[in-house]
Homo-oligomer: A and B are copies of this chain.
């Protein structure tokens, strides 16, 4: 079988750790181009994997051999690059979040609808085996009615790349909500059947990172800090969302003066409930014959990035709609935008007439 030719746009951390190794080990694909505005990055990839190094993605747009593209750039160019490739007739897997704002995400969705090419977003939890076990349990009715979900993505000290692209609003679009919250919210939406939101209220704060020199930390992902860089995004967010399904509350912190890393999601059901340790295993709490029961099963987890890439490739081959399709992910973009807007206005946003 002929392999699908891939271009990877952006060769930073997520491309290096997730997309590129997944394509390399997948028999259906072959990376033809490594593209990044930093030539050292692409050269290292070509040295390791072969292929062609380019600095401007526009040079790839018209290569008829390219069928599919992974967009792994900072958030600010997601919309432009994804749209350009869709319009050039390519299938696109774009890293999460879809874009910096809901409006940008709508532009991307529109391009997908007009071109009919694939636009999947990197909501990788939809390809996580623990998450899919939970979804199945919920779909089977084992939890009864899910009436509330609480997502806690709170870390003591975890601001990434303080002062750099992650903490610069014009590049990232936001802080902990758009970086971590998108995963939690998407996971919740997926497990609960992607219910439409009715009202959204949020409040965000930028407190611990703003004086970059005063930020005490033990280690830093995507660091070290850039002491004369920019920090204008939120390090704490709280939100309350009513949907056509359960209500959802969120508390999230990239950094907070509470020394607990509470990264979990609670699905409260009328018959039973689940606490998922984010990125890990989960416990089911139920009742049986007058006893309160608590059950955990831990498995060797497969790599959800590999599954995500594999699903993207199979969408290209057989045309099926992925759970990561822009049409489902757009709802999360809408909710996140409403959280930001609500915080700025100091009032709830309502989607009901």
On A, residues with C-beta under 8 Å from B are: 143, 145, 147-148, 150, 156-157, 198-199, 201, 203, 205, 207-208, 216-219, 236, 238-240, 242, 247, 249, 251, 253, 256-260, 266, 268-273, 275, 283, 285-288, 290-301, 346-348, 350, 352
Contact = CB atoms under 8 A, between A and B. Distances in A.
Main secondary structure of the interface of A (DSSP, over half): strand
A220 to B, nearest CB: 10
A270 B211 CA distance: 11
A249 B257 contact: no
Nearest to A207: B270
Given A147-B236, A240-B249, A347-B348, A259 B203 contact: no
A206 to B, nearest CB: 10
A208 B270 CA distance: 6
A259 B238 contact: no
Nearest to A214: B287
A283 B293 CA distance: 10
A258 B292 CA distance: 10
B201 A268 contact: no
Contacts of A242: 203, 346
B199 A347 contact: yes
Nearest to A147: B205
A23 B242 CA distance: 47
- Centre residue among A239, A266, A292, A350 by max chain B CB count within 10 A: A292
B298 A143 contact: no
A285 B156 contact: yes
Contacts of A288: 297
A218 to B, nearest CB: 5
